[in-house]
Amino acid sequence: MKREIVTFLSDYGLQDEFVGVCKGVMLDIAPNLRVVDIHHYILRQDIRHGAVVLQQSVKYMPDAVHLAVVDPSVGSQRKAVAVVAGSGAVFVGPDNGLLLPAAEMCGGIQTAFEIANERFMLTPVSQTFQGRDVFAPAAAHVAEGVDPSELGPELDAAGLVRLEIPEAWIHDDHLHAEVLQVDRFGNLQLSCEQEHLERVGLADGKKLEVRLEGHRLNVHHGTTFADVPPGEFVLVEDSYNQLSLAVNKGDAGAHLRASSGSTVIVGPINT
């Protein structure tokens, strides 16, 4: 099935030519293709960050081939794969866990194929830039109507590398979570949702205790950043239904020196 759009996510950044070269390769194969840039500032070599962003973004994307490259093991024995989801969406990238949370979001894994057919690559294949030589060409060819099965042998979906995105766990009346990502505003997206607060009886609390990176904060539980004065912390539900710790008109990440993977405990205020 031919598609007009490829989405593109990577940790390449925009300081170098890597993103532009990959786009050029795709457009040389499929001149009418449109490329939607989801994110190119995924934390360098941080597969989990890429998986979180791809999973959260894909539900807002049109029918497309999804190209994702966060590949710290480039040139190794890890496989290059095309994963077909139940919705029909195709995910192209390394077999390192990056693609699977998004594929599960799109109806689960239907089939998967190793990208091994040199007809659909640039040769010789670089051992350090397979985004250009393997993944971008494969994505463009699939968008042009090549069946993913032509890319190479079918793979057992159970054998694909899995990456678990953490969820909060409950201990008594507290939630233990992690920071999933820090956006450019410094908001800390946590691995817990409003329903987790409901399960420990904290959903109606106007103030919650948040422990993070050695800090013990009494934080207002609100619905918007503006529920607190500028410079104060607030815990809100973000646009992806995750709880986020923010500072109104400030930078929570910089203030707390927190980053992806920082552990967080949310609980009632001790009186």
Question: What is the pLDDT, as a whole number, of residue 145?
Answer: 97
Per residue in 16-48, pLDDT tens?
Answer: 999 999 999 999 999 999 999 999 999 999 999
At 235, is the secondary structure helix, strand, or coil? strand
Question: What is the pLDDT, as a whole number, of residue 135?
Answer: 98
Confidence of residue 172 (pLDDT cuts 50, 70, 90): confident
Q: What is the mean pLDDT of residues 73-87?
A: 93
Confidence of residue 204 (pLDDT cuts 50, 70, 90): confident
Q: In the 3-class helix/strand/coil scheme, how is 59-91 assigned residue by residue?
A: CCCCCCEEEEECCCCCCCCCCEEEEEECCCCEE
| Alpha helix segments (H runs only) across the chain | 18-29, 47-58, 100-105, 130, 136-143, 194-199, 252-256
* More confident of the two residues 201 and 271: 201
**For residue 129, what is the DSSP state?**
-
Per residue in 102-122, pLDDT tens?
Answer: 999 999 999 999 999 999 999
Q: How far is Cα 51 from Cα 45, in angstroms, rounded to an integer?
A: 11
Question: What is the pLDDT, as a whole number, of residue 30?
Answer: 97
Question: What is the pLDDT, as a whole number, of residue 89?
Answer: 97
Q: What is the mean pLDDT of residues 115-144?
A: 97
- Domains of the chain and CATH, by start: 5-159 (3.40.50.10790), 169-267 (2.40.30.90)
Query: Is the pLDDT at 178 greater than 80, yes or no?
Result: yes
In the chain, what percentage of residues exceed pLDDT 90?
92
Place of tokens 């934390």: 43
Q: What is the mean pLDDT of residues 1-6?
A: 94
In the chain, what percentage of residues exceed pLDDT 70?
99
Query: In sequence order, what are the residues at sequence separation of 6 or more whose Cβ sits closer than 8 angstroms to the Cβ of residue 11?
Result: 40, 41, 42, 43, 44, 45, 46, 50, 69, 70
Rounded to the nearest integer, the mean pLDDT of the chain is 95
Rg (CA), the chain: 21
Q: Name which of 127-131, 207-211, 266-270 the model is least confident about.
A: 266-270
Cα–Cα–Cα angle for 129, 8, 57, rounded to 5 degrees: 140
Q: Name which of 8-12, 74-78, 112-116, 201-205 the model is least confident about.
A: 201-205
Question: What is the pLDDT, as a whole number, of residue 269?
Answer: 85
Query: Is the pLDDT at 3 greater than 90, yes or no?
Result: yes
Q: What is the mean pLDDT of residues 41-60?
A: 96
Query: Is the pLDDT at 258 greater than 90, yes or no?
Result: yes
Query: Is the pLDDT at 271 greater than 70, yes or no?
Result: no
Q: What is the mean pLDDT of residues 42-59?
A: 96
